[in-house]
Amino acid sequence: MWELVINNFREYIGRGFIIAVYLCALVYLFVTEKRKERRILFVYMPLTVLIIFFNPLTARFFAGSTDENIYFRILWLLPVTVTLADFFTEIFLRFKGRARITVLTAEVLLIVLGGRLMYTDDGRLDNHYELAQNEYHVPQTVVDICDGMIVPGREIVAAFPKELFLYVRQYTPYVVMPYGWDDVKKAGYGATVPLRGYIENGGATAQELAGLGHEAQCHYLVVPEENRPEGDMAECGFTEVSNIDGYIIYKSELQYFGLWDE
Neighbouring-strand partners of residue 207: none
Q: Is the C-alpha dihedral spanning 22, 24, 30, 35 positive or negative?
A: negative
Can you give the residue range of the structural domain that contains 235?
140-252
**Same domain, yes or no: 60 and 147:** no
Among the candidates 63, 98, 114, a domain finishes at 114
**Same domain, yes or no: 101 and 149:** no
What is the per-residue pLDDT for 186?
Answer: 55
**Same domain, yes or no: 195 and 92:** no
**Same domain, yes or no: 106 and 167:** no
What is the per-residue pLDDT for 16?
Answer: 85
Among the candidates 114, 149, 184, a domain finishes at 114
Give domain status of residue 208, yes or no. yes
**Same domain, yes or no: 144 and 242:** yes
**Same domain, yes or no: 239 and 154:** yes
What is the per-residue pLDDT for 99?
Answer: 93
**Same domain, yes or no: 166 and 77:** no
**Same domain, yes or no: 66 and 145:** no
Given a contact cutoff of 8 angstroms between Cβ atoms, the answer to whether 74 and 12 are in contact is: no
Number of domain units in the chain? 2
Give domain status of residue 259, yes or no. no
- Give how far Cα 7 sits from Cα of 13, 48, 62, Å: 10, 20, 14
**Same domain, yes or no: 69 and 144:** no
What is the per-residue pLDDT for 129?
Answer: 67
The one-digit pLDDT tens for each residue of the chain (262 residues) are 778 888 888 888 877 888 999 999 999 999 998 999 999 999 999 999 999 999 888 888 887 777 777 788 899 999 999 999 999 999 999 999 889 999 999 999 988 887 777 766 554 445 566 778 888 889 999 999 999 999 888 899 999 998 898 899 889 999 998 887 666 655 444 445 788 889 988 989 999 999 999 999 999 999 999 999 999 999 999 999 999 999 999 999 998 887 655 5
**Same domain, yes or no: 170 and 223:** yes
β-pairing, 220-224 vs 156-159, is parallel
**Same domain, yes or no: 147 and 109:** no
**Same domain, yes or no: 85 and 159:** no
Give domain status of residue 38, yes or no. yes
Number of neighbouring beta carbons within 10 Å of residue 109: 10
Give domain status of residue 262, yes or no. no
Closest CA to 145 of 181, 172, 119: 172
Give domain status of residue 119, yes or no. no
Give domain status of residue 261, yes or no. no
What is the per-residue pLDDT for 121?
Answer: 59
Give domain status of residue 181, yes or no. yes
Give domain status of residue 17, yes or no. yes
